[in-house]
Amino acid sequence: MVFKGLLGLGSLLKQAQQISGRMQGLGDELKKRRAVGSAGGGMVEIEVNGLMEVLRCHIDPELIARGDRELIEDLVATAINQTIAKGKQLHSEAVKELTGNVDMPGLNEALEKFLGAGQSEPEDPEGAPGSQ
């Protein structure tokens, strides 16, 4: 019975070594992936890569012309939060692909914690034109 446990541990260690080798390329893969979040019916858009680096922030000139600083701030925050949630999902998918969906003890729980499972997505502020 002890030997069976050791064999299982050996197999798990071998899988971990294989995954560790693949993890080295994960950063490069995540840099290539993109996530876009928006608010106000697309009046504000934020783009990040899989490493959660902000690549682009677009604010519709019409929104700026309105001069409603508070609305712009709310929409930017909402778009950023939406983009972060999508970026975390990209990261989770990349890790799952990397592990070949191997059942790694604690991996699913760690990913759920990272993704903030059970938390509701932020909503557009009240009165935001064209809220999604």
Residue 121's identity, in one-letter code, is: E
For residues 76, 82, 88 and 94, what is the CA-based torsion angle, rounded to 10 degrees? -110
HSE, side-chain direction, 13 A CA sphere, residue 6: 3
DSSP secondary structure letter of residue 43: T
Q: Tokens for 61, please give them.
A: 């000139």
State residue 132's pLDDT score. 38
Per-residue pLDDT at 115: 57
**Per-residue pLDDT, 5:** 58
pLDDT in tens, 28-67: 888 899 999 999 999 999 999 988 999 999 999 999 999 9
Instruction: Kindly report, residue by residue over 65-119, the tens digit of the pLDDT.
Output: 999 999 999 999 999 999 999 999 888 888 778 767 665 666 666 656 655 644 4
CATH 1.10.3210.10 fits 2-115, yes or no: no
